[in-house]
């Protein structure tokens, strides 16, 4: 029997048929000009929803077999080769996506990863979120930012990325699926795992590392760099509990909230560079309002079951600074993302179902290093960190403590007046009436107002009486870059130190951080022949 012929087709279907294999088969047969009975199977390769017009469509890419069944395609597996105890050691500082994917890649290349994480494992870490939500108490090494899986573990798990030129995005998705993520992320145009599922995925990744012969150490906050006598080579790192970890190379993947690491490098005299970042607020709407705006139907109409909770992306430029939505969470929640008890930071998350009655997004304004000249004299390259911290302390004071956040109605923010009451919110610790337009710096407020008015013109209804602004969204990305050689990826001042991921300023999300982790692992091994001997 001859093998079937295989075809890849891009099809446009009514949105209600976008998930129907029968509809794919009928449309594929029409596109190929054949009888549907000749099709032996169809497999979904890509799925997206086009809601730009009132008539919403599904865009699908399918693989079609004609004249026989589709060859079976097994799901990715988590099998890794074992590494010998005597294999060369790569110490990986941080177990966010950059650190975990670096560890897996190190194993694939035959070395042994030693992962150091300041926080707890994902299972234990869940229990440390309750004091933040219910008592307003931050456990400073175990919270929404710190712990196994990094900040992404309990803040949504969105995987959409434009970083396709940075490495094998598909390999990242397949690794996540091999460790328990829904296979659907392999085909969705905007893949999402959800904060309820991602903890189990990262724990499965840890299990793979351990089975292969790697190590993972929790409660291992790095606070010392042990260097050669001439200071040029990193030989080991020391943790707060007195342990020392030696290695042949060190990948620094601590995330953008590990400010103590920036301070450590600064004290050690290692080069750091200020970089652009963004700050602003979380904006929250009723999800049905966003659904009606994005899907072009009258508010009060029930969203069709074939449509997911609607998302949006808005961006403009106001006087040479970007104003844009960030980390939009349809059917989501606003969560407290502070890492110290004298600050309030807000972020967004969604569960896999995305069935909360609220939609939230960061609404932020770009901050360039030249905007922070008053901070640079005292704080040098850490001016952005000082600026972030100051805003977070302002938010804490205005909120009144216990992680309550200052908030203002959107229309009052635009009009420059105090709100007299606030709508319901998903932010569990609660909100306090405040003048965000007076708490934020004027160069942020002015641009945010202009940007919001522009968004209101392009999205009529977005400037709603029910829209709420909550302060402050400050941890969009690192305000610091830890430089590295563009070829070797090693820090120019310290041999064997490889800055990596979001915290080093080279990534901006789960996928780009994972790709950078893989890249740093490969750079370590590529430079093995030139690794200096330990002193």
Structure tokens, 294: 């994005």
- CA 88 from chain centre, in angstroms, equals 31
pLDDT for 162 equals: 67
Average pLDDT rounded to a whole number, residues 6-12: 97
- Report all structural domains of the chain as residue ranges with CATH numbers, in order of start: 5-66 (3.30.70), 89-272+482-530 (3.50.50.60), 277-473 (no CATH)
Q: Answer yes or no: is pLDDT of 2 > 80.
A: no
Q: Which pLDDT tens digit goes with each residue over 314-343?
A: 999 999 999 999 999 999 999 999 999 999
Angle subtended at Cα 346 by Cα 360 and Cα 316, rounded to the nearest 5 degrees = 55
Alpha-carbon gap, residue 438 to 263, rounded angstroms: 30
What is the CB neighbour count within 10 angstroms for residue 33? 6
pLDDT for 9 equals: 98
What b/e readout covers 89-102, taking b as 16+ CB neighbours within 10 angstroms? bbbbbbbbbbbbbb
Q: Answer yes or no: is pLDDT of 157 > 50.
A: yes
**DSSP β-bridge partners for residue 250:** 91, 497
- State whether the Cα torsion 242-220-525-509 is positive or negative: negative
Q: How many helices (H) and strands (E) does the chain have?
A: 14, 22
Average pLDDT rounded to a whole number, residues 263-267: 98
Weakest-pLDDT range from 74-83, 148-157, 270-279: 148-157
pLDDT for 290 equals: 97
Closest CA to 119 of 129, 133, 107: 129
pLDDT for 196 equals: 87
Looking at 131-276, which runs of residues are DSSP E strands?
A: 215-218, 222-227, 234-239, 244-246, 249-252, 273-274
Average pLDDT rounded to a whole number, residues 486-503: 97
Average pLDDT rounded to a whole number, residues 64-80: 92
Do the beta carbons of residue 382 and residue 390 sit within 8 Å? no
Q: For 76, how many CA atoms within 13 A lie in the half-sphere containing its CB?
A: 19
pLDDT for 527 equals: 80
pLDDT for 532 equals: 46
Q: Which pLDDT tens digit goes with each residue over 201-240?
A: 999 999 999 999 999 999 999 999 999 999 999 999 999 9
Strands 5-14 and 39-50: unpaired
Mean pLDDT score across all residues of the chain: 94
Average pLDDT rounded to a whole number, residues 31-46: 96
pLDDT for 164 equals: 62
């Amino acid at each position: 029997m001859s093998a079937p012929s295989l075809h890849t087709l891009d099809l446009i279907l009514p949105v209600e048929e976008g998930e129907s294999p029968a509809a794919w088969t009928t449309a594929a047969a029409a596109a190929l000009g054949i009888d549907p009975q000749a099709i032996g199977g169809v497999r979904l390769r890509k799925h997206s929803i086009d809601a730009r017009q009132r008539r919403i469509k599904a865009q699908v890419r399918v693989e079609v077999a004609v004249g026989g069944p589709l060859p079976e395609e097994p799901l990715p597996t988590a099998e890794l080769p074992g590494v010998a105890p005597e294999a060369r050691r790569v110490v990986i500082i941080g177990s966010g996506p950059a650190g975990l994917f670096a560890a897996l890649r190190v194993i694939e290349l035959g070395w042994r990863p030693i992962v150091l994480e300041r926080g707890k494992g994902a299972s234990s870490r869940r229990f440390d979120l309750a004091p933040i939500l219910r008592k307003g108490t931050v456990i400073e090494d175990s919270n929404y930012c710190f712990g196994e899986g990094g900040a992404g573990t309990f803040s949504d798990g969105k995987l959409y990325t434009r970083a396709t030129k940075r490495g094998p995005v598909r390999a990242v998705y397949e690794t996540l699926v091999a460790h328990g993520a829904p296979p659907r992320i392999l085909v969705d145009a905007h893949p999402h795992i959800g904060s309820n599922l991602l903890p189990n995925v990262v724990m499965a990744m840890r299990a793979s590392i351990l089975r292969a012969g790697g190590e993972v150490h929790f409660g291992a906050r790095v606070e010392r760099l042990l260097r050669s006598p001439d200071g040029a080579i990193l030989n080991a790192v020391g943790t707060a509990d007195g342990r020392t970890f030696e290695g042949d190379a060190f990948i620094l993947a601590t995330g953008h909230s590990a400010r103590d690491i920036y301070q450590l490098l600064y004290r050690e005299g290692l080069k750091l560079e200020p970089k652009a970042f963004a700050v602003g607020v979380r904006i929250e709407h009723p999800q049905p309002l966003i659904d009606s705006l994005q899907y072009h139907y009258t508010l009060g109409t029930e969203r069709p079951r074939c449509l997911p909770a609607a998302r949006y992306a808005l961006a403009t430029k106001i006087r040479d600074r970007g104003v844009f939505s960030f980390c939009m969470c349809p059917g989501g929640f606003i969560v407290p993302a502070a890492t110290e008890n004298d600050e309030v930071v807000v972020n967004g998350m969604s569960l896999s179902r995305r069935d909360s009655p609220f939609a939230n997004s960061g609404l932020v304004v770009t901050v360039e290093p030249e905007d922070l000249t008053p901070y640079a004299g005292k704080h040098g390259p850490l001016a952005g960190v000082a600026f972030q911290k100051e805003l977070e302390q302002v938010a804490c004071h205005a909120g009144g403590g216990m992680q309550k956040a200052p908030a203002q109605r959107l229309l009052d923010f635009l009009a420059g007046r105090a709100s007299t009451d606030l709508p319901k919110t998903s932010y569990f610790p609660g909100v306090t009436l405040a003048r965000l337009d007076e708490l934020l710096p004027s160069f942020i407020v002015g641009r945010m107002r202009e940007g919001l008015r522009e968004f209101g013109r392009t999205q009529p209804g977005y400037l709603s009486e029910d829209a709420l602004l909550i302060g402050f969204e400050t941890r969009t990305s690192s305000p610091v870059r830890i430089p590295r050689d563009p070829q070797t990826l090693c820090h120019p001042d310290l041999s064997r130190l490889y800055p990596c991921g979001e915290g080093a300023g080279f990534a901006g999300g789960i996928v780009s951080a994972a790709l950078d982790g893989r890249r740093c692992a490969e750079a370590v091994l590529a430079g093995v022949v030139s690794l200096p001997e330990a002193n």
